[in-house]
Structure 1
Amino acid sequence: MLHILYIIAITAEAMTAALSAGRRDMDWVGVCIIAWITALGGGTLRNILFNHYPMAWVEHPEYLLITAGAALFTPLIASFMGRLRKLFLYLDALGLVVFTIIGCQIAEEIKLPVIIILFSGVLTGCAGGVLRDVLCNEIPLLFQKEIYASASLITGGVYVAVDHWYSSPTIAMLAAATVGLTIRLLSIRFDWHMPKFTYRDKWEH
């Protein structure tokens, strides 16, 4: 089940990445690269940091084909994407939760400390979107007031805690997915935000 959700998530991430690339007038090569980085970049960074190989997209090269195909299909339906904005927000929330859980699982498998397991979850869940926004010259969603990284962190925390108490990755996965997805979807529905820091020098206008 987690693998199916992962495929759905990387497909949705690739399509939203293609839209960001389109806003910057990128050609089809740029569209594919931004899609790959967004959908697969978080896991790639995690594996590099933790020296964990092979990369998912090396072991499963079909991931590159799936994400590139989704990205190249996006321009054909771009005129309808505005009507599907909420759907893609929900799919993005699903992707955040799925990527976070996978990141936690992999860090657990290589026997890393709890704090690093949580970091691995947040990195896997959020880094792809940060890389996309940086490459598209936008302020990353992670650094704004959206409840995004915090939802990822809570997802990872629930996964680690439940897995520790029940020694069941399946129960931990279901609990973490339920809590994380609920928090992220509620934040979208009710426009919840994190407190933000605003500073201006007195001579700034």
Structure 2
Amino acid sequence: MLSTIYLIAITAEAMTGALAAGRRNMDLFGVMVIAFLTALGGGTVRDIILGHYPIAWTQHPEYVWLVLSAGLFTVLVARFMHHLGRIFLVLDALGLIAFTLIGCEVALTMGYHPTVVIMAGMITGIAGGVLRDILCSRVPVVFRHELYASVSLLVALCYLGFGEFGVKHDVNVLVSFALGLTVRLCAIYRGWRLPVFSYRQPID
């Protein structure tokens, strides 16, 4: 299940990256770079930090062609994309959760401490979007008040917790995925948000 969702997710993430590049009037090379980093950047950062070599996408060059094709396709159909906003939000939620679970599994198989497993899951889930937003001169979504990184944290904690209680792997993945997706979609459609810290230097 995760493999299929992963392919859907990297395609959707590449398209959101291409749209972000288009909002900054980048050329086609810039669009391809942002699409690639958005889709595969999280896993790349995770693999480098964990020392997980070879890096995942280098063993699956078809992933590279998939995300680059998705980025180019977005350029061609961008004028119609505003009709698909809600669909992209759902696909992005699927990607966030799938990436988080995959990141946790990679760290677990390498024998890392649970704290590192959680961080690996979150890095996989959110680092691509952070790279996209930084290169597009935006404050990353995960640093604002939207429930995004917190959903990734919840999914990682649930996955580890259920595993500790002996829940079968497939059931664990399914339950953690469903819980994370429910919370993320509720955050989107019900406006759930984290408190915001706002500080302004008082004028003397």
Bin for the TM-score computed over the shorter chain: over 0.9
Structure 2: distance between partners of 1:197 and 1:146: 13
Query: In 2, distance between residues paired with 1:170 and 1:156?
Result: 15
Contact 2:103 2:117 in 1 (8 A): yes
Matched with 2:11 is 11
The answer on whether the counterparts of 2:118 and 2:156 sit within 8 Å (CA) in structure 1 is yes
Q: TM-score, normalised by structure 1?
A: 0.97
CA contact (8 A) 2:47 2:56 kept: no
Within a 5 Å distance, the mapping from 1:1-205 to structure 2 comes to 1-203=1-203
Deviation at residue 86 of structure 1 after TM alignment: 0.6
Query: Structure 1 residue 167: deviation in Å?
Result: 4.8
Instruction: Report the RMSD for the aligned CA atoms in angstroms.
Output: 1.0
Q: Name structure 1 gaps, 5 residues minimum.
A: none
Contact 1:162 1:175 survives alignment (8 Å): no
**Counterpart Cα distance in 1 of 2:46 and 2:76:** 33
Checking the alignment, whether the CA contact within 8 Å between 1:19 and 1:74 is kept in structure 2 is yes
The runs of 5 or more residues in structure 2 that have no matched partner are none
| Alignment TM-score, normalising by the size of structure 2 | 0.98
Letter in 1 for 2:139: I
Q: Shift of the alpha carbon at 1:191?
A: 0.8
CA distance in structure 2 between the aligned counterparts of 1:80 and 1:100, rounded to whole angstroms? 30
SS of aligned partner of 1:161: helix
What's the % identity of the aligned pairs?
48
Residue type matched to 1:145 in 2?
H
Name the SS of the counterpart of 1:196 in structure 2: coil
1:25 Cα shift? Answer: 1.0
Secondary structure of 1:98's counterpart equals helix
